[in-house]
Structure 1
Amino acid sequence: MNGASRDALAAARERLDALTDNTSVDAAKLADELAAVTALLDREVSLRRVLTDPAQSGDAKAALVGQVFGGQVGGETVDLVTGMARARWSRSRDLVDAIEQLADIADLIAAERDGTLDDAEDEIFRFSRIVASSTELRAALSAKIGTPAHRNAQRELLARLLGGRARPVTERLVARLVAQPRGRSLESGLEALSRLAADRRNRSVAVVTSAVPLSDGQRERLGAALTRLYGRQVHLNLDVDPSVLGGIMVRIGDEVINGTVGDRLEEVERRMAG
């Protein structure tokens, strides 16, 4: 997001944090309701255009939110969406993206409350590795055939993969992503969830790929080094790939620190060819 949309999202996230500071607010229920709002606005293009139309007054847009969603979702959800409708957005679709992000954050807040946020973050990453390694699984979960039978098949597949093996919040987040990809690939959606989980703990995520599993001591030393380098806590998601031959490759966002033997061999080959 850029410009006005980025500012509007930041303000909405602050309101969500303030709301969920009250432990009497059911964060998981809030997440489900925000997801339902996302699904409706994703379908109803004209509605989201009206709600982001700068020519419409804030009061008019707030009244429309009340008419559409009042009685369908809780008061906290209506208040959040009303505040977002009053804000300025660079694109109408940014409003829907922002509400979807708030739904995911609300679920992560629920996990934080019950002490399972770390587990959920690790489970999302491990599931993303499974998806990346299986073309058939990725195709089955990403297919856009919208028949009830197909949707049921996807739900059953996810239940076999995650049921009883992952925290409930992980199941909810992944199931929602599969059911409502909204134009994203499954891999990019899982990566976005991982970033949100890390952000919730005010830390960065480093995807570390090595030829063999790192020892506890190696993980601790690498984590400490990256924390010093970036000036904030860095969570390590570990992946093993024998093709790197040796050394490690670290990716934090768009930045890659490559110290693998394979990379060094490619550099030697480039120099020899030159």
Structure 2
Amino acid sequence: MNGASRDALAAARERLEALTDTSSVDAASLAEQLAAITVLLDREVGLRRVLTDPVQPAQARADLAGRLLTGQVDGPAVDLVSGMVRSRWSRSRDLVDAVEELAATADLTAAQQANALDDVEDELFRFGRIVQSSAALRAALTDRAATVEAKTELLHRLLGGRAHPVTERLVVRLVTRPRGRSLEAGLEAMSRLAAARRDRAVAVVTSAVPLTDGQKQRLGAALAKLYGRQMHLNLDVDPAVLGGISVRVGDEVIDGTIAERLAEASRRMAG
């Protein structure tokens, strides 16, 4: 997001943080309601354009949102979205993206309150790796001809009782409501949001063999010093790297694997 939308999202995040800091607000329930509002706004293009129309007074937009949502969702969700439509948005679609992000953040907050955020982070990463390694599973989860019910049932069979309920809810939403984004991109976005709950960045670490606890601690400390913030390490084992490790933080890759050094030597020889 750029400009006005970025500022509006930042303000909405602060309001969500204030809401979920109180014991009277159920973060998981708020997440479900915000997810339902996301579906509504994504489907009703005309509505979201009216709610983000800068020509309309901010209070009139908020009043319209309140009338539409009151009785459909609880007061905290109404107040949060009404506040969001008072803000200025660069594009109407940015409002939908923002509500969707807040839904995921509320669920992750519920996991954090239950001391399960680390588990959710790890489960999202492992699920992404499972999908990446199984073409058949990825095809089933991204099949446009498959119904929402069929995909949901498949995910319940895969994750039910094996993953935290927050993980299952996040994955079900990503699969059944992709909104033009790939499953892999959605899972990465969820991982970044989870890391942000602890003011951490995510480092995807690939090694030929599992790292020891000592190696993980040293690597985490080195990356924290390099990037100036704590790191959550998503660990992947791939014998194809031959030796050493590869670290990806966002779009930046630090590759110290033997495979990459051999490839570089080959490129130099060819040149």
TM exceeding 0.5: yes
2:227 paired residue number: 230
- Following TM superposition, by how much is the alpha carbon of 1:152 offset from its aligned partner in structure 2, in angstroms? 2.4
Q: Does 1:46 align with 2:43?
A: no
2:85 paired residue number: 85
User: How many Å separate the matches in 2 of 1:229 and 1:59?
Assistant: 46
User: How many Å separate the matches in 2 of 1:32 and 1:208?
Assistant: 32
User: How many Å separate the matches in 2 of 1:216 and 1:160?
Assistant: 32
1:134 paired residue number: 134
- Read off the aligned partner of 1:143 and give its amino acid letter: D
- Read off the aligned partner of 1:161 and give its amino acid letter: L
Give secondary structure in 2 for the equivalent of 1:236: strand
**How large is the RMSD of aligned CA atoms in angstroms?**
0.9
Within the candidate set 183, 186, 190, 1:186 is matched to 183
- Following TM superposition, by how much is the alpha carbon of 1:12 offset from its aligned partner in structure 2, in angstroms? 0.2
- Following TM superposition, by how much is the alpha carbon of 1:169 offset from its aligned partner in structure 2, in angstroms? 0.7
- Following TM superposition, by how much is the alpha carbon of 1:45 offset from its aligned partner in structure 2, in angstroms? 0.2
User: How many Å separate the matches in 2 of 1:244 and 1:231?
Assistant: 28
Tell me the TM-score normalized by structure 1. Answer: 0.97
- Following TM superposition, by how much is the alpha carbon of 1:145 offset from its aligned partner in structure 2, in angstroms? 2.2
Give secondary structure in 2 for the equivalent of 1:206: strand
Give secondary structure in 1 for the equivalent of 2:36: helix
Matches within 5 A, 1:27-38: 27-38=27-38
- Following TM superposition, by how much is the alpha carbon of 1:140 offset from its aligned partner in structure 2, in angstroms? 0.7
- Following TM superposition, by how much is the alpha carbon of 1:155 offset from its aligned partner in structure 2, in angstroms? 1.6
2:245 paired residue number: 248
Deviations 1:43-102 (A, max 9, x none): 000000011111011111011101211110011101110111011111110000000000
Aligned residues: 271
1:155 paired residue number: 152
User: How many Å separate the matches in 1 of 2:48 and 2:139?
Assistant: 30
Give secondary structure in 2 for the equivalent of 1:22: coil
User: How many Å separate the matches in 1 of 2:16 and 2:59?
Assistant: 21
Tell me the TM-score normalized by structure 2. Answer: 0.98
User: How many Å separate the matches in 2 of 1:223 and 1:7?
Assistant: 32
User: How many Å separate the matches in 1 of 2:152 and 2:89?
Assistant: 34
Q: Does 1:55 align with 2:52?
A: no
Give secondary structure in 2 for the equivalent of 1:208: strand
- Read off the aligned partner of 1:77 and give its amino acid letter: A
Q: Does 1:174 align with 2:162?
A: no
User: How many Å separate the matches in 1 of 2:125 and 2:233?
Assistant: 10
2:10 paired residue number: 10
- Read off the aligned partner of 1:226 and give its amino acid letter: L
- Read off the aligned partner of 2:73 and give its amino acid letter: V
Matches within 5 A, 1:110-149: 110-145=110-145
Deviations 1:229-262 (A, max 9, x none): 1111111100011111111100011111010111
Give secondary structure in 2 for the equivalent of 1:204: strand
Deviations 1:89-121 (A, max 9, x none): 111100000000000000011111111111111
Percent identical residues? 71
Deviations 1:125-169 (A, max 9, x none): 1001101111111111111226xxx32221221112111110111
Gaps of 5+ in 1: none
User: How many Å separate the matches in 2 of 1:228 and 1:167?
Assistant: 31
User: How many Å separate the matches in 2 of 1:153 and 1:41?
Assistant: 24
Gaps of 5+ in 2: none
Q: Does 1:221 align with 2:218?
A: yes
2:263 paired residue number: 266
User: How many Å separate the matches in 1 of 2:138 and 2:112?
Assistant: 29
